[in-house]
Structures are given as C-alpha cells and as structure tokens.
Amino acid sequence: MNFGLSRVRELLDKIGSPDLGLKIAHIAGTNGKGSIAEYLTCILDRAGKRVGTFTSPAVMSEWDQFRVNGLALDPLVMGEYLGRCYELRGDCTAFEVLTASALLAFKEQGCEYAVVECGLGGSSDATNAIMHKEVAIISSIGLEHTAILGDTIEKICAQKAGIVKDCPLVVNALQCDEAKRFFERMGASFAAIDNIEVGDKQSFCVKGTRFEISPLGIEQAYNAAAAVEAARILGISDFAIASGLAVARPIGRIEVLHSRGNTYIVDGAHNPQAIEALTRYISERKMKDVKVVFGCFSDKDIASITEMLGKIASSVTAVQPPSNRALKLDKIVRECKRHFSSVAYSQSVSDALDGLNGTIVVCGSFTLVKEALNWIEKEQ
C-alpha cells in the first residue's frame, strides 16, 4: 500500500478524466460498504439507469469488482481497460490502476452513474481522487486498521469523512455515540429506520415509507436505509427504490442456506463489530449445536473475534485463508484454543465442511466465502 491521490489523479487525467463524466456515489466506512453498494446499484438499475459498480475485495470472482447494472464485465473487455491503464500507470499501485480502470470502463460502457466503494479509509484512498460526487455515504464505523487510520473512533471518522467533496453526506444511523456526535457536527443526514418487522424478510420504514429486503440481520436494514436516503438525493422515486431493494442480494453477508439437513451460515464478517452482529443473529434465534469454521488475516483482532464466537459455539475448525495476508494456521489454532472446548484444523474450507453436521457458521474473512458457497451449492 502507498496512500495518496496524486498518482491516480494523474492517471485518471491521462485516460481522459472519466470520473468527470459520471454521477458518482462514493461509499466509505468500516462495515456495510459492500451491502450499501449492492442496494444502491439495484435501485439505480430498477430506475432504468445505467450504473457501474466498483467494489473490493473480490468475493466470488475478481471480475465481480467491475459490474455494469449488476453484471460483471466480460473479462476480455475489462482486460482491455486494465491494459490501457497499466501502460500509463507510472508509479501507481495495483489498486490505483484498478480504480482508474473501473472508472474508464464505466464511462466507455455508457454508464450515467457509478457506485464506488473505498478500498481502505477515505481521505487518502485511491478512490478519493474522484473530483466530483453526487453523494457521499458512510457506513457503520468501528476500530479497524488502527495503525493506518488512527486509534480512536474520532480519528477514523475523520479519515472516512474525507470523501465528502462539495456533496451531500448520508451516514448509516447504526453508529456508536462518538461517531454520531462527529457526523452530527458535519450536518450529515442520518439514515435511520423505524417500525421494523422481521420474518422470512425484513420490512421497515424510512421517513414514513415502508420497504422490504431479503437479507437478514438488523444491520442490513440500516444499510438499506442508507441506500434509500442516497437514492432520494439522486432523485430516484420510492417505487424504484422499493423495487431495487426487493431484488438486492449482497453476497456473503449472513447468508443462510440449507442442505442435507444442515444449516449453513456464511458471513464475511472479519472484525469485532461484524462478528458481534453475526453472533447476535445466532443468539436471538437460539440456534443449538453451532459449529464454526474460522480463519482470518494477520491484522485482525483475533482475540476479540474468537472470544465472541466462543460464546455461541463450543466447536471450531481453523483454516488459513488463501491470501498472503492470512494469519498462519498455527496461530489461529492457538488463539481458538483459548475460547473453544473443541478445536480442529483443516487445510481448506471444503475439507472442514466435509466432516461437519448441524448448524455450521463460516466466517472470519471474505476470502472464505467463495469456497464455502461453492461447496454448499454442490451439496444441494
């Protein structure tokens, strides 16, 4: 990583400043960015708009990071845009090239809107080289990447708030008190919900209008509300908003699947705030005989994460995520032994799932989601 905006701004200008030809919604935050991006993309699509979406990290495929109206661009087509930007990249980092390539692709593919998710932070993130935005959105804030973003909530909020550039700011209302006070001082519009009803789906009101989503967990209702408020700022009708929310399916966010008499919960939750939401979901439903498949990156608060997971399950199978940022398997096992009565380990998620029955939770990193979902699909 090499933070700063000058390199990617220079690259964007070399390729024709594609960001200036797009109506951009920019999303920063700790948890919920990808979900908000998915909701807003579906809303704009149902409103008849052509919209590009750039998110990170990749979950099911590296090409899913570059989507137009929800569909990944053809790898050959996207490869051409990547190649053009690499030729002119100068000293740009890989992520900076991806950012420029996405904006170039969206402009040349005829998009009117672009939904862009920050990679890390806000102020100095490559995506913040964008010159003009229609709306800035900030999801839930928590303590993560403290060595880079700061060691207090207020310092992290300041980093995230750096994406605001002469545009309205929408803030997810699911915030701790310190974050709320920070964004209140900025005059942000908070995306709150009320009258929530939970069944097979969730329905809730945002300023008097009722909406419905399929993803579970109250956090998703708040994420959807942030997309609602942003869409309203963009002039989208509540009819199109409701239609978009109804079809949105964020990948790897408390996905509940059933196969061979087992219940699988797959969640990319990878920090204490997200793990807390996952464990609350399981506890509220009084799920029994829960088994966990877990792995995480080396920069995560594994002590807090495993402590929370140990309260809803006695058994864990440790795996090392497929990434050079992964925490080594022996260290994951060592920490798990502090909080689980039964600890096993496997070389992959698939191997772990082969030997488990009951209610199985896969979590700790988005890099585990693809293998888990593919394995479950084959078993159905």
Domains, the chain, ordered by start: 6-247 (3.40.1190.10), 255-379 (3.90.190.20)
d(CA 16, CA 125): 20
Beta 169-172 vs 189-191: how paired, if at all?
parallel
Tokens of 156: 């992290």
Which amino acid, one-letter code, is at 25? Answer: A
Alpha carbons 31 and 273: distance in angstroms, whole number: 8
Which tokens sit at 119? 């990679």
**How far apart are the C-alpha atoms of 31 and 122, rounded to whole Å?**
13
- The pLDDT of residue 97 is 97
What pLDDT is attached to residue 300?
A: 92
pLDDT of residue 145: 58
Instruction: Determine the angle formed by the axes of helices 302-309 and 329-336, rounding to 10 degrees.
Output: 50
- pLDDT of amino acid 6: 94
SS3 at position 211: strand
Answer for the pair 363, 294: CB distance below 8 angstroms, yes or no.
yes
**Helix (H, G, I), strand (E, B), or coil: what is residue 291?**
strand
Predicted TM-score of the model (pTM): 0.92
DSSP string computed for 44-91 = HHHTT--EEEE-SS-SS-GGGGEEETTEEPPHHHHHHHHHHHHHT-TT
Helix (DSSP H) and strand (DSSP E) numbers for the chain: 14, 17
pLDDT (tens, 9 = 90+) of the chain, 380 residues, equals 667 799 999 999 999 999 999 999 999 999 999 999 999 999 999 999 999 999 988 888 889 999 999 999 999 999 999 999 999 999 999 999 999 999 999 999 999 999 999 998 889 999 999 999 999 999 999 876 555 566 799 999 999 999 999 899 999 999 999 999 999 999 899 999 998 887 778 999 999 999 999 988 889 999 999 999 999 999 999 999 999 999 999 988 899 999 989 999 999 999 998 999 999 999 998 998 999 999 999 989 999 999 999 999 989 999 999 999 999 999 999 999 999 999 999 999 999 999 899 999 999 999 999 999 999 999 87
Amino acid letter, 208: G
